[in-house]
Chains A and B, each alone.
Chain A
Amino acid sequence: MNPYAILAGLLALAWAGGALIRPGRQRMAGLSSGTEFLLMGILLGPLGLAAVSRPTLEALAPVTLVAASWLALLAGSQLGFANRRRVPAAHLLLGIALSLAVFAATALLAWWLVPLLLPLSGNERLLLAIGLGCAGCETARTKAILGAQRLAAGGPLADALANLAGSDDMVPLAGLALLFALSTPAENAAAHAPPLVALGVTLGLGVAAGALAGVLTRVEQRLTERWGILLGTGLMAIGLSAVLGLAAPAALAVMGVTLNLLARDGAALRGMLASTARPVLLPVVALAGAQLDLRDGLALWAVAALVPAMRLAIKLPAIALLRHHLTPPTLPGPWAGLALMACGPITVCVGAVVAVQFPGPIGRLVLAGCLAAIVIGELLGPPALRRELQRADEWPDDAAAAPGSATPGRS
């Protein structure tokens, strides 16, 4: 049967599943990264009911690549912005530093740990370490978590957490570019350029696509033509990156940054791109769930524990140490770092793309790390965010938090 029809069926079922766990119109747990779609993907994939087979998943690899790269474009276009505000430089740097710390710690530990459990070649070991570093270093935008609960909170702490969460999207995408650049045809069939050249071409392609789209949208105000320009340049950059064996999401993220710099009305373009987030995210999440493969045994479980553990080990003490300087005069609680545990679309994007482009232990383990970070993040992040905002008296009242209401509660 047509794999695209199967994908449509998978999404329809996931949608139905998502509706079932939503009593009325308000979600129970604030599944900001669409975990219900992830679980439905696992259930219907080869690990579960096998309604979606491995050959079907291979046929759907382009859908994964395109959707994940588009999410990266969104992330690139929103770099430096949170909740339609510019992120202050201090928060931006702190967010990036936290993300880099999680990346480095996870990668180093994975470099040491995984070869003890699974035989890997030298390059595989390096690539796996980079991939697992990417798996844990992104944070879901707090607005997405609150949006999933139909709520809007505001205040110094909410803003600070939103700034930190919105600052770290580029780190995993840069890591992804490095991962693809260092890969050889043994791991990634399309790879064929030396690492530095591959990195340069990824950057150049992203800049060229962003410049093309930026210049053309400056002289074109009509919405339909703008969509043609954005979709056309985006798809071209994705396709060319994939043909050249490069990290398409990284190129698209660079395109997003360039577009935002060159566009005359960046806010309008960001709004256009953001409106596509959910329809694009759902297939990636569902396919990522279906791609989960447990054949690596103990190594897989170790990785699944390692990635969320390192996120926790870095973010919790770091925020606890910095809490006096984060939102003066408001003092966040010592557990405020838990509020930054939720993972967003970029983690799904990393897991899905690596699983598709590296069909071996690297792909399987990185995907497992990403999915573990997402699930654990969903369990810890949203409740912690709620608790911290309630503690800081920034959580909307019940009356304002009625289902369907998105009225800003900024104080």
Chain B
Amino acid sequence: MSGGKKPLPVRMLQLLMLLVTLGLAWLVQQDSTLEPGIAAAVAALGLLLLAGTLFSELAEVVGLPHLTGYLLAGIIVGPHVLGIISHDTVERLGVFNELALALIALAGGAELRIDSLRRAARSLVWAHLLQIVAIIVVVGGSFVALRGHIPFLAGMGLVPTLMVALLWGVLATTRSPSAVLGLLAQLRPRGPLTDMTLAFVMSSDVVVIILLAIALAVAKLGIDPSAGFDPAAFGEVGYELLGSTALGTTLGVILALYLWASRPRPAAADSAAAPDTGTPAVEPEVAATADDGGRNLLLVLLLLGLPMSALLEYVHLNPLLAFMVAGFAVQNFSRGGERLLHAVEKTGAIVFVVFFATAGAHLDLHGFATIWPVAVILAGVRLVVTLAAARAASRIAGDAPVIRNWGWSGLVSQAGLALGVALVIVREFPDFGDGFRTLAIGVVGLNELFGPVLFKLALDRSRETGRARDADSEPAAAGATPVFSAPSPPR
């Protein structure tokens, strides 16, 4: 995806086309007689895709990652800047977001290998431990220190404030698997930094679920002592973890069975070879009707992804964890892992454009304007603590220098998972929930914007960028640019 540099006239043309697109959409949006229904959502999805792609192209000029371009596209066409896409329309795009998240988690799980995890176990344990403790203590402490500047804490006693700070600390421990996978998709890096970051952010989902349950139980006790301790909260955590794992494993088994049943056979392989002139044996029209495994697998993923997302939502389980487990199961307990990864790769950057451009459109810039100083300080403190804790953990675990120097960089991004945690907190504590959410959106927005930039910088500096492409250039040559990082061989 990070192709060669384009000349200035091409960039100018892309900018011109972007302006034309935005102008056309803005003109149509000005017609107040038009109904902002589902058709508007389809147009909005197209606009986000096109504008996201063009913004990411222009972001390349200044060395920014594509994700930042997608986010900027969402922010600019969203309800708070140009207003081409309304709040209602952004909400309607939720179904695409769920599907995108499902595919991202599936690919993330499929990228994890037991061998790699086993080797990195010591590093992962230390990293999680130090990150959790340092972030909850220092970021939570900063939150308490700033309480005079946080409107929704006005009039709150010290103990309740400490409880809210604890919740904020848990929020701060969340990472963004989608941002990491999005960058890996663009840069195709390979190396210890890539592997460690991937393993950390994917496993952090489980850690956050457990932490959140504990924090909610403690915070309820601290904010309203009359409520008493509710052990059912831990039962819910168990239900969520075990239920998501069980359903994810089931999905993984189904996918593995499908992959086994549709595995390429020698006859099919023979017919795929071009017979004479090097042109594809299967012409486009025939290809459209032929039962090709790759395309069908992608369709199967979509068919399973949608109902599974709906089912998981219905039974209050964690989709990210479930799809991650499914991908992990296929990769590690069947022979179809590579085919699964390759099929998800075919969704291209489209999944990431949809996910991050929609996230950008969700960012509430008006709300951010009221709390930006506090948001900037809290995001800054989190960044510093993440860096310090990562370095300390690497030193203790004896990690390679590249992880010691840059291991923190992939842990800065926050996105959907953090906002999901904020929503849970808002639901549990409606008294201060709205203010908490506004602040959370502001801080997560900052981390979402700057986190990928830092991680890209780290991957470039550590020279892991593009190694997968160099080592595994066949898919690109065949015209199928992989999106997720090519799987690393077991080391």
Q: Show the binding face of A for B, using Cβ within 8 Å.
A: 1-2, 4-5, 7-9, 11-12, 15, 25, 32, 61-62, 65-66, 78, 83-84, 141, 143-144, 146-148, 150, 152, 190, 192, 208, 212, 215-216, 219-225, 227-229, 231-240, 242-244, 268, 270-271, 273-279, 281-282, 402-408
Contact = CB atoms under 8 A, between A and B. Distances in A.
B62 interface: no
B281 to A, nearest CB: 6
Contact of A228 (B3, B39, B53, B306): B53
Interface string B46-62: 11111111101100000
Given A25-B291, A229-B53, A404-B268, A274 B42 contact: no
A279 B299 contact: yes
Given A8-B302, A152-B286, A225-B349, A62 B41 contact: yes
B284 A275 contact: yes
A406 B46 contact: no
Contacts of B46: 231-239
Contacts of B348: 223-224, 227-228
A276 B20 CA distance: 28
Interface stretch (B133-141, B205-213, B320-328, B477-485): B477-485
Interface residues of B, number: 73
B83 to A, nearest CB: 16
Contact of B3 (A148, A221, A279): A221
Given A279-B298, A408-B275, A240 B43 contact: yes
B50 A233 contact: yes
B201 to A, nearest CB: 22
A147 B33 CA distance: 47
B40 A84 contact: no
Given A235-B45, A242-B39, A143 B285 contact: yes
Nearest to A31: B289
B116 to A, nearest CB: 26
Given A215-B17, A279-B299, A407-B275, A236 B306 contact: no
Interface string B19-39: 011001100100001110111
Given A2-B306, A190-B35, A278-B295, A239 B290 contact: no
Contacts of A234: 46
Nearest to A10: B303
A239 B42 contact: yes
Contacts of A243: 28, 34-35, 37, 39-40, 43
B310 interface: yes
B52 A228 contact: yes
B284 A270 contact: yes
Given A228-B349, A231-B350, A232-B46, A143 B38 contact: no
B42 A62 contact: yes
A144 B44 CA distance: 33
B82 interface: no
Contacts of B50: 212, 228-229, 232-233, 236
A406 B275 CA distance: 10
B13 A7 contact: no
Given A25-B291, A404-B268, A146 B53 contact: no
Given A11-B303, A225-B1, A271 B284 contact: yes
Contacts of A242: 39, 42-43
A8 B306 contact: yes
B95 interface: yes
Nearest to B42: A239
Nearest to B29: A243
A240 to B, nearest CB: 5
- Residue with the highest number of chain B CB atoms closer than 10 Å, among A146, A223, A227: A223
A136 to B, nearest CB: 22
B39 A232 contact: no
A222 B285 contact: no
A144 B289 contact: yes
A59 B339 CA distance: 33
A321 B290 CA distance: 35
B14 interface: yes
B283 interface: yes
Contact of B95 (A4, A32, A219, A406): A4
Nearest to B479: A223
Interface of B: 1, 3, 6, 10, 13-14, 17, 20-21, 24-25, 28, 33-35, 37-54, 56-57, 95, 265, 267-268, 271, 275, 280-291, 295, 298-299, 302-304, 306-307, 309-311, 314, 348-350, 353, 479-481, 483
B6 to A, nearest CB: 7
Contact of A406 (B1, B290, B304): B290
B310 A406 contact: no
20 contacts: A2-B95, A8-B302, A84-B284, A147-B289, A216-B54, A224-B349, A224-B483, A225-B57, A225-B349, A235-B46, A236-B46, A236-B47, A243-B35, A274-B284, A275-B288, A278-B289, A402-B267, A404-B268, A406-B281, A407-B281
Nearest to A62: B38
B481 A222 contact: yes
Contact of B480 (A223, A274, A402, A408): A223
B123 to A, nearest CB: 32
Nearest to A12: B303
Given A221-B3, A222-B481, A223-B480, A8 B43 contact: no
Nearest to A148: B289
A141 B353 contact: no
A84 B299 CA distance: 26
A232 B49 contact: yes
A274 B288 contact: yes
Given A219-B10, A278-B295, A83 B283 contact: yes
Nearest to B476: A223
B299 to A, nearest CB: 5
B230 to A, nearest CB: 31
Given A4-B310, A221-B3, A275-B295, A407 B350 contact: no
B286 A212 contact: no
Nearest to A237: B46
Contacts of B267: 402-405
B307 A147 contact: no
B47 A232 contact: yes
Given A4-B95, A143-B283, A219-B10, 4 more contacts: A5-B310, A212-B17, A235-B49, A404-B267
B271 A1 contact: no
A212 B49 CA distance: 14
A232 to B, nearest CB: 3
Contacts of A4: 95, 306, 310
B58 to A, nearest CB: 12
Contacts of B303: 8, 11-12, 15
B472 to A, nearest CB: 16
Contacts of B299: 11, 278-279, 282
B183 to A, nearest CB: 14
A352 to B, nearest CB: 15
B287 A219 contact: no
